[in-house]
A and B are shown apart, each in its own frame.
Chain A
């Protein structure tokens, strides 16, 4: 007899004996709205402090229940918790429950690292974002769904490029050089988040179809995330995908279509006649002061302006006469608003189909989707086709196997110039209206090609030869990705208490870039056209073996986990390039003549880990979690590869104490506190080694070259994040008001940082080091209030706000470290600006001035400051921070009969941003042809002016103004209506007729409104706070339908 059979026999005997003394309670749990069975719900008999979990069929059984009166609590993630009094006597009780969908975020179970846990037992900071929040809105990238909904999580779109990247920071940025992106874990597998590529910005998270997601849980502190130790330093985003449920087959279909345009109006600029007029006037004034007659001056000024601009938008060579009056008959031939011509309306289409269901032993979820988006800049688009299959089967009663597979193909097209200096938005923002969109001949007529199509005008001196619409027609910047994420999981119930689990996973991403730059215009003109092909393959292979011991002994519950993991990440890269094309039709390398690049490389990071965790509960009121993890990473120096990380946390369900029995307005009250450490090895794979790099980039004149590319730092070791989290969670007034208040600190020690070293000493300007300590700390507040909850109307409002303070605790030397426009100094915020301070316009000369310290005879600052008109002599000062005082979101959900409405606002308050574009378009004549802001019409210095905010205008006269200074720092506060969705679900009576379970139609808008303290650019900037003509965020309006049957 095997142990299993013996166990079954004993169990049966015990059960049989039990029925003689006490009864059992059993039943099924279903969804109140759909009637579907709900698997895995938790059933708990409060008085007995024990319970059961429903099986996959929604059925539960609690045995050995003595006669008596009990309170039963039924809970499951995404549903409202039910408590009901029952009486058990004289035999078994059959009791079924119907759970309603929870609109108040009162989920009782939280998905955690390597499992899930009752919410009140969770000792760390874990915020769950249920599928309702995702499902209601049409989003492209999972990360978009997190903005404004979870405290402590800040999200900024890196670009509005379709399929582009999204930056997420959880509780601030702990690292400077190492990545600050969180770890994404999909169904237990940590997946790579790859940003970038040759042909534009891309982001692998955009490959996940948001509709496949059941739940997103954000693990914010070490107690919650420590089991992911080595890569969890920046927090973890746990994604759980949908599973099938036993029962009838369910088919979900969705379709949506929408359009988009630019979300934020760009800077106000001047028109062609105003622009020409400024240049005319400048020369005219020079001529008059030089003694010329008004008529002669006008003639010279017309010629001078045309020469300076290399363009004349008028129908005559003498548009203006004496005194700057328009000559009769003179008229503009055109007035090109480049932004209107370059930015166009984008379109979005999204279709998805999923089938799920299950039999006695097997459940399945299968889904396929197609997403197609055309961007708002020329030539930009994103297409994604995705399939997913999640299957789980009970092979025997002690062995369960699950397989999940997600395959995605995507194709992203970017505008020519991508994020570079020639990107279309930069072109449109910086090119004056005085240049024609189409080429014109000397007579001002549009020039056509041989087929009668107008030729584009490439003669725009600011960005010469880069007509964005023209280039988009012939150039190609394509990135194709194929991603396959596969996981085979085996769960083996060795005894009733012990479960062994083994997961074997691989995640392969092929990223293929195809770039063609044409032979006639733009970057590759001198080479006669250029094609580049690159292939990157990213492979993650992971084996994870865990053993779980789960036991309730009297009032004690023990959940002990031990495991071991193996992780390898490989990057395989191949690139080839040729130049010299005979035409723009064939774009493959074979059609070109000169081989210019052929390169390949391979790199690998490996990690070995051992992990263990204990969850202990007492009386279902007191909980302790302790974990420890030991990781060895290949990226560190020989003696420093291993790091040990751990956490301890406790929670106390105060509302379960007897002294709270009389406090009726409190439903749940929980206090939690935790401490823990996590590690970060997210730097270059070979950062500790002294390297002699080989690359075609070091070749010389046809001879192979190498270079001393990195100084060794064998002492390089793990960056360690140490976090503390103290929080109170509550539900009050019959669950009408719920929320949490949390204080957190996150100290990053041994910060991985490329320490600047004097290049004059060692020939290197930086070295990978463990440098400093930084603290991020703050408060998080989240509230949800149910205004009404009746049969017809469910209305709730919610808000969350996070404060974030950043302080550099220590640096290796006393000296501050300058990093671009910021300076790292002990006791200071690492995002504090340290740049030249603008001192206004000199009322005498009209020149820009900046401050510098007045020095005494010994060369020490006296504390006084003076204004200098030579920028080179200005000193730098601390001038505010790009880090906000607080950020967050608020919103409302209303369900009235069949109608639903969701609104979500996000906001950021108290940061300062640097507006590069404004600097570019207030060049005051120094850059003829470059666009000018409307401010130059009103606020320019003229002799005698004391209120001017811009220096005197003059052709090539005043290049000193646009230099980096506080002149271009602006208040970064903004409020954005991130999403507004209105939907209508057809009533059951209609659904019966069409034999459907559910039919919802909706209209949804993203980024509908933006209110910003400083206008003219998208205020949703990266944390650095520097605007740089990045692809603007889009405002999208989508209409769609969800159909289930």
Chain B
């Protein structure tokens, strides 16, 4: 019996000795592949592209970027209660390297997207896609990178209009790893050159005819390029690309307009798609614009702006606002807007770009180029859709430009554009208590105030010695 027992024990020990090889100590993960498997198989490659769309639509990127722009633009008022202090920092222009959304999440998320794009772009030439599909993917990736760089450079650097030689942002187009040396800031000019190069290549290679606006299409690439050229003062190219972006599209009707921007319409060029099992819920932009206290319900329209700029027949004016019932605390401070009405469960697609913006880029660019008729026509397309009584503008020169800029405020409010316009046009932020702003925040913040540009976030400064001495002026460390 003892002999058998000894044998049994030795046998038991042997089980392990036999299996003690490298394979035994290298179990495979069950929900991950190794990264070198990502680009060999087209189907896996496609999931990787889908993952970039998801990252772009993250509640920390797109759907927080839009309100954080609007609360700084002057036309939007922030109600600070019951939203866990979101946007309070940006609204008050008290960002610091450690406390704000813009300097934190945007920096992180946009570079995350760029970090996803770069290895895919490098691997794409070898990938086993059909030529058409491959060209489309190249365009998507390039547009993602250009759009992320554009988001970054407009928040962390002086506008292009203030000079090409100002410090821009980190320009990263290579496949870098933790072992590579950190990069410092390029100039604004170098960053815009890269954005233009990416987008020019994108529109050159992308096939036409794809119209799924939940993806980056040729239209969307042209649209981003139009925005970029507008920043750069390249008005002919801006107008040309804006028109290519909306060519053949129908502006949404007034019924769609008044139903709220919760689902794609005929004029949506690019949006981030959401589904019931994959939405940003309470953190969606619409939750902050909610009028019924189902979401965070934190954003309101400046009352002076709404009172003074819309005719009574303008569908974007009072008819989009919730009627002011007496004693309702929600409307006592400023106006609630139904423009970003939400769906059940806050499951709604997040708008990134629509044709109306392209009409207005075209209008502004043509006005600046002196093409008055083209400008007036494009402007009228927007004005007449909003107001049945609208009359084609006869303004020219600066008056026409001013009219277009005002139309941008009216047409695009709550879509994250106004603050970028103030930067591009080097205008002050103006807020009044009459409009509903906090008394402490009433007043003017001139263009040259250091707070108009976000600080490079502390975590970047801490991890990157090259950028550490390159903080934007005015901020501590």
- Contact assessment for A596 and B48 in the assembled complex, using a CB-CB cutoff below 8 Å: no
Is A557 positioned at the interface, with any CB of B under 8 Å from its CB? no
Q: Which of B88-96, B240-248, B352-360, B418-426 touches A?
A: B88-96
Question: Does A755 contact B344, Cβ atoms closer than 8 Å?
Answer: no
Measured in the bound complex, the distance between the Cα atoms of B177 and A525 in whole Å is 43
Among A550-591, those with CB < 8 Å from B are 564-566, 579-580
Known: A526-B344, A545-B9, A762-B180. 14 other contacts (CB 8 A): A602-B30, A692-B34, A705-B51, A706-B38, A706-B47, A708-B116, A760-B172, A760-B183, A764-B178, A765-B459, A872-B474, A928-B81, A956-B438, A964-B98
Residues from chain B with Cβ under 8 Å of A760 in the complex: 107, 111, 169-170, 172, 182-183, 460, 464, 467
State whether the Cβ of B249 lies closer than 8 Å to any Cβ in chain A.
no
B82 near A461 (CB under 8 angstroms)? yes
List residues 250-270 of chain A with CB under 8 A from any CB of chain B. Answer: none
Tell me how far the C-beta of A496 lies from the nearest C-beta in chain B, rounded to whole angstroms: 14
A698: Cβ under 8 A from any B Cβ: yes
Q: Which residue of B lies closest to A697 (CB)?
A: B54
Cβ-based interface call for B309 (8 A): no
Q: Which candidate, A633-641, A893-901, A967-975, A1010-1018, is the interface stretch facing chain B?
A: A633-641
Question: Is B38 within 8 A of A464, CB to CB?
Answer: no
CB of B278 within 8 A of CB of A871, answer no
Contact present for B13 and A545 (CB under 8 Å) = yes
On whether the beta carbons of B36 and A690 are closer than 8 Å, the reply is yes
Check: B394 CB closer than 8 A to any chain A CB: no
Given known contacts A307-B332, A872-B96, A959-B88, is B25 in contact with A490 (CB within 8 Å)?
Answer: no
Total number of B residues with any Cβ neighbor in A under 8 Å: 109
Nearest-neighbor residue (CB-CB) of B282 within chain A: A526
Instruction: Assess the A638–B474 pair: CB atoms within 8 A.
Output: no
For this complex, 28 residue pairs linking A to B, each with C-beta atoms less than 8 Å apart, are A461-B82, A462-B81, A464-B81, A545-B9, A545-B12, A604-B27, A606-B24, A692-B37, A696-B278, A698-B55, A699-B278, A704-B47, A707-B116, A708-B48, A708-B115, A711-B35, A757-B182, A758-B182, A813-B465, A817-B462, A818-B459, A818-B462, A836-B476, A871-B94, A872-B475, A873-B96, A927-B80, A929-B81
Q: How far is the CA of A704 from the CA of B274 in the complex (A)?
A: 13
From 860 to 906 in chain A, residues with beta carbon under 8 angstroms from any chain B beta carbon are 868, 870-876
Which residues from chain B contact A816 at a C-beta distance below 8 Å? 462
Residues from chain A with Cβ under 8 Å of B30 in the complex: 601-603
Q: Which one of A527, A634, A963 lies within 8 Å of B26 (CB-CB)?
A: A634
Q: B307 in the interface, Cβ–Cβ < 8 Å?
A: no
Q: Is the CB of B344 within 8 A of A528?
A: yes
Q: Which of chain B's residues have a CB closer than 8 A to the CB of A633?
A: 25
- Knowing A705-B53, A708-B38, A872-B476 touch, does A526 contact B295 (C-beta < 8 A)? yes
Q: A527-B281, A763-B111, A763-B115 are in contact. Are A956 and B439 (CB under 8 A)?
A: yes
User: What total of chain A residues lie within 8 Å of the partner, measured CB to CB?
Assistant: 115
Interface contact A689-B451, CB-CB below 8 Å: no
Q: Smallest CB-CB separation from B24: which chain A residue?
A: A606
Contact of B51 among A579, A698, A762, A954 (CB under 8 A): A698
A761 with B345: in contact, given A398-B2, A696-B278 (CB under 8 Å)? Answer: no
Taking a contact as CB atoms under 8 Å apart, the answer to whether B2 and A762 are in contact is no
Which residues of B approach A to under 8 Å, CB–CB? 1-2, 5-6, 9, 12-13, 15-17, 20, 22, 24-27, 29-38, 44, 46-48, 50-55, 57, 80-82, 84, 88-89, 92, 94-99, 107-108, 111-112, 114-116, 118-119, 169-170, 172, 176-178, 180-183, 214, 272-278, 281-282, 287, 293-295, 329, 332-333, 342, 344-346, 438-441, 451, 455, 458-460, 462-465, 467, 469, 474-477
In angstroms, Cα B465 to Cα A638, docked, is 31
Closest to B271 in A: A701
CA distance A634 to B24 in the complex (A): 8
Does A543 sit within 8 A of B, measured CB to CB?
Answer: yes
Q: Which residues of A contact B459 (CB under 8 A)?
A: 756, 759, 765, 818
Q: How far is the CA of A852 from the CA of B26 in the complex (A)?
A: 51
Smallest CB separation, B113 vs chain A (Å): 8
| Interface mask (A521-549 → B, CB under 8 Å = 1, otherwise 0) | 00101111000000000000001010000
Closest to A964 in B: B98
Residues of A within 8 A of B345 (CB): 526-528, 579-580, 594
A67 at the interface (CB under 8 A from B): no
Q: Does A64 contact B (CB under 8 A)?
A: no
CB distance from B14 to the nearest CB of A (A): 10
- Residues from chain A with a CB closer than 8 A to the CB of B52 are 707
> Measured between alpha carbons, how far is A836 from B477 in the docked complex, in Å?
10
Tell me which residues from 928 to 972 in chain A have a Cβ below 8 Å from any Cβ of chain B: 928-929, 954, 956-960, 963-964
A699 and B50 contacting across the interface, CB-CB below 8 Å: yes
A987 sits at the interface (CB 8 A): no
- B96 and A686 form a contact (CB under 8 A): no
C-beta contact mask, A648-680 vs B, less than 8 Å → 1, else 0? Answer: 000000000000000000000000000000000
Residues in B neighbouring A608, C-beta threshold 8 A: 16, 20, 24-25
Q: Specify which chain A residues have a CB less than 8 angstroms from the CB of B57 in the assembled complex.
A: 700
| Contact residues in A for B172 (Cβ distance below 8 Å) | 760-761
Is there an interface contact between B48 and A707, defined as CB atoms closer than 8 Å?
Answer: yes
A493 to chain B, nearest CB (A): 10
Report if A463 contacts B (CB, 8 A).
yes
| Chain A minimum-CB-distance residue to B45 | A706
CA distance in complex: A523, B283 (Å): 12
A602 to B28, CA, bound (A): 10
Say whether A464 contacts B80, CB under 8 Å: no
B60 CB → nearest A CB, Å? 13
Asked whether B293 lies within 8 Å of A464 as measured between CB atoms, the reply is: yes
Check if B182 sits within 8 Å of A690, measured CB to CB.
no
**CB proximity of A63 to chain B, nearest CB, Å:** 26
The interface residues of chain B lying within 8 Å CB-to-CB of A632 are 20, 25
- Which 4 pairs show the lowest CB-CB distances between chains A and B? A763-B115, A701-B273, A872-B96, A758-B464
Interface pair A597/B329, CB less than 8 Å apart? no
A25 to B290, CA, bound (A): 90
State the CA gap A964–B476 with chains docked (Å): 14
Chain B residues with CB under 8 Å of A926's CB are 80
Pairwise interchain contact A759-B33, C-beta atoms closer than 8 A: no
**What's the nearest-Cβ distance from chain A to residue B169, in Å?**
8
Q: Which of A834-878 contact B (CB under 8 A)?
A: 836, 852, 859, 868, 870-876
Indicate whether A702 sits within 8 Å of B275 (C-beta atoms), given known contacts A872-B451, A872-B476, A954-B440. Answer: yes
Taking CB atoms, residues of chain B closer than 8 Å to A492 are 5-6, 9
List of B residues within 8 angstroms of A694 by Cβ: 31-33, 47
Q: Knowing A4-B2, A700-B278, A761-B176 touch, does A875 contact B88 (C-beta < 8 A)? A: no
Min CB–CB distance A60 → chain B (angstroms): 27
B-facing residues in A756-813 (Cβ within 8 Å): 756-765, 767, 769, 813
| Residues of B contacting A699 in the complex (Cβ-Cβ under 8 angstroms) | 50, 54, 278
Whether A606 pairs with B295 at a CB distance below 8 angstroms is no
**Nearest CB in chain A to that of B115: its residue:** A763
Q: A700-B57, A760-B172, A956-B440 are in contact. Are A638 and B22 (CB under 8 A)?
A: yes
| A685 proximal to B (CB < 8 A) | yes
Question: A928's closest neighbor in chain B, by CB?
Answer: B81
Cβ of A474 < 8 Å from any Cβ of B?
no
Say whether, besides A526-B295, A927-B81, A763 and B118 are in contact (CB < 8 Å).
Answer: yes
Max count, chain A CB within 10 A of own CB: residue among B25, B80, B346:
B25
A704-B50 contact, Cβ under 8 Å, with A579-B345, A634-B27: yes
Contact among B33, B329, B439 with A692 in the assembled complex (CB-CB below 8 Å): B33
A928 and B108 CA atoms in complex are apart in Å by 32
Complex contact B440–A705 (CB within 8 A): no
Q: How far is the CB of A619 from chain B (nearest CB, A)?
A: 35
Rounded to whole angstroms, the CA-CA distance of A873 and B9 in the bound complex is: 70
**Is there contact, CB below 8 Å, between B29 and A685?**
yes
The answer on a CB contact under 8 Å between B114 and A705 is: no
Give the chain A neighbours of B462 by CB distance below 8 A: 756, 815-818
Alpha-carbon separation in the docked complex, A566 to B118 (Å): 42
Chain A residues positioned under 8 Å from B282 (CB to CB): 523, 526
The reply to whether A701 and B278 form a contact with Cβ atoms under 8 Å apart is yes
Contact B5 A708 (CB under 8 A): no
